[in-house]
Every structure is written in C-alpha cells, then in structure tokens.
Amino acid sequence: MSYSEDRALKALAAISDPLKPSDIIAAGRLASMNMTDGVLQAVLQIPPPEAEKFFPIREAAQHALEAVEGVSKARVVLSAHKPGPQIGGKKRGNPHQPRRPEGVQGDGEVKRIIAISSAKGGVGKSTLSANLAVALARSGLRVGLLDADIHGPSLPMLFGTTGQQARAISVGARKIIVPIEAQGVKTMSIGYLTPDDSPIVWRGPLVQGAISRMLWDVDWGELDLLLIDMPPGTGDAQLGLAQDIKPGGAVIISTPQDLALLDARKGVAMFRKVDIPVLGLIENMAVFTCPDCGTQHHIFGTDGAQRDAKALEIDYLGATPLHMSIRESGDSGVPVAAVEGNITDIFETLAKRVYEKALATPQRE
C-alpha cells in the first residue's frame, strides 16, 4: 500500500502532548511534514525551555511514522523556531523564521559572512579556519572568527585563549558580549562562556539557538569578513545555522581521502539546498615532505580533492601540507599563519583566494 498523509497524521495524533491536555497534532506541534523518496520528515514546533520533555516525544513520533505503510524511514526534528505550515510539500509562509532579539544587533556592521565547513570531523577544518582568519587579518582586513562547534570548541586552544571568559556590556536595553581578540582576529566560542571544561550536553534546538545568538549577541563591530567555523555534519544545527545566519558563501575543507571527500560532497549538497553558494574547496593535509630526505608522500591519496571539485563544478582553491609546524602551532596557541615562513605564505595565498571569492558575494544589508 502506498503512503497516505492521513495515516501519518493519525499516527501522530495518537501521541499525547507533554504540556497540553491533547495530542501533538491538536496542540499544533506539527510545523511541517514531507515525504521524499520514501523518507518522511516531520518538524515539531516546541518551546525551547521545555525541550527535554519533548525528546521522548520525538522518538515516539519517529517510531509511529515508521510504522505507517509506505514509509521506509522517518525523521522527526524538534524546532524552537516558528515555521509556517508546510504539509505534503505545499509550502505556506517561511518554513524557518529567524528569531532575532529586539534592539541593537551585534552583527549589524559585518559586511560579509563565510562558512568554513567540512561535514566531517578530523580533517583539520578548525586549524585551517584559524589560520585563514589570521592570514586575512595580516593582510589588513578586519576579521572575526566564530567557533560554531558547541560540543567540541577548539578555537580557545588554537588562539591560546583557553580559560579566558568573555564579558558583557550594556548597549541600550541589551547586554552584548565582547569578543576576545587574538592575533588581530575578533574571536568568539562557547568556550568563552562556560566556566570550565565541562561538556555541553545540549541537543538540536538548544545548540542551533546558541550558535545564532553568538552572532547576534556579540559586539563584532565593523568587520570586512566574519568566518564561521562550522560544526561537523549536515544535521539540524548545520541547516539551522545556514538558514538563520544565511552566510554569503561557504568554503569546503577536505583531505584527499575518499572517505573525507564523500562527506565533503554531502556538505556541498547541503549548502546548495539552502541556496548558499559554495565558493570552493581547500585540500588539507595534501602532502607530507620527509624532513630528512625531502621525499614527498601523499598519505591520504593524490588529487582526489581536485577531481571532486571538478566533478562538483566548484573551484579548487588550493592545498595545505601535512606539516609538523601546523600541529605544533595549534598546540602552542599561536597559529602558524602568524609566524613568518613558507607555511605562512601558503595560508596567505589561500586567504587571498577566499577573500576574492567572498567579494563576489553580495554585501550584507
């Protein structure tokens, strides 16, 4: 039997709402429901302070929908935003409405925002983001870097600012957070807002909201370019960030390894789905040169990123090597791009290419 939207709605109507004396359909929780290639995705609208009460509701809803005939897989998302109704693929209104605070906007004087993404952890995206930011600042630009990885913030270590706490100032009726400046870059991370190394155990909507607020509630001042070091993956947090913040473009980071490139392709597809142009791909850890004999070794493969960039019809922006100084600089808290040398020249060239691509994107109003 083929999929029936009515049966799906009835399945959800059997689930009680934790806050109201009714089911989740009657309570108005269903914001959207769409079937694509056998996968049924439903979005439930919830109040952020009550998120934990809805975690079991999400699981129950997913199991209920997967039991519906014609559904091969179900995906249920909890959203703290207020989308317009969207049932059966018929869009009515904006499906993802940003919830900016009233009053002064911390990003009001940021000219351009570029997302740095890998869609996969462990490919050196954060290290590369930090060095790109420093290289851009050394060229005379006003640069900011937002660490959007709530669960694994690495920016404080990369910039030697671990243990520092951001302070807040009053601007009109609002409290605005002052970013921490290091190596000429204005930086912000959840690590500056938590008192110790305790893990952040938030889920979807809370993470998504925290990332957006670190843009809106931070006094970035006048910036030519703000880089966002995106969290790995292509899930709720990444899609929400892309839709809330709407960067002018995205740069994809990958190693030459096929496994990393597989996720890089998913990242490209995600940005294209939300109409954010992909400015190009940077190949990280492309080659290792033996310090004793000078022989080059392509540890993660050869030319894979160049081939993928061509197949995906995006620009190949260049490559960085697998080099001891890059690792050492990350551990010491001084990005290698801040120190004169051959590696610095590589990052300066990449930074110039990224900024040239960024200039082709519209300036924020």
From 3.30.43.10, 3.40.50.2000, 3.30.300.130, 2.70.150.10, which CATH number describes the 5-91 domain?
3.30.300.130
pLDDT score, position 82: 45
257 contacts: CB under 8 Å, gap ≥ 6 = 300, 301, 304
The residue extents of the domains of the chain are: 5-91, 113-359
What angle (nearest 5°) sits at the alpha carbon of residue 296, between those of residues 291 and 297?
Answer: 110
The 10s digit of each residue's pLDDT in 287-343 is: 666 766 767 666 565 766 677 778 888 899 998 887 777 878 778 889 999 988 788
From 2.170.120.20, 3.40.50.300, 1.10.3720.10, 3.10.180.10, which CATH number describes the 113-359 domain?
3.40.50.300
Burial class (CB in 10 A: 0-12, 13-18, 19+), 1: exposed
pLDDT score, position 365: 67
pTM: 0.68
Look at residues 117, 113, 130, 129 and name the one whose alpha carbon lies nearest to residue 244. Answer: 113
The 10s digit of each residue's pLDDT in 44-92 is: 888 877 778 888 999 999 999 999 998 989 988 887 644 444 444 444 4
161/100: higher pLDDT: 161
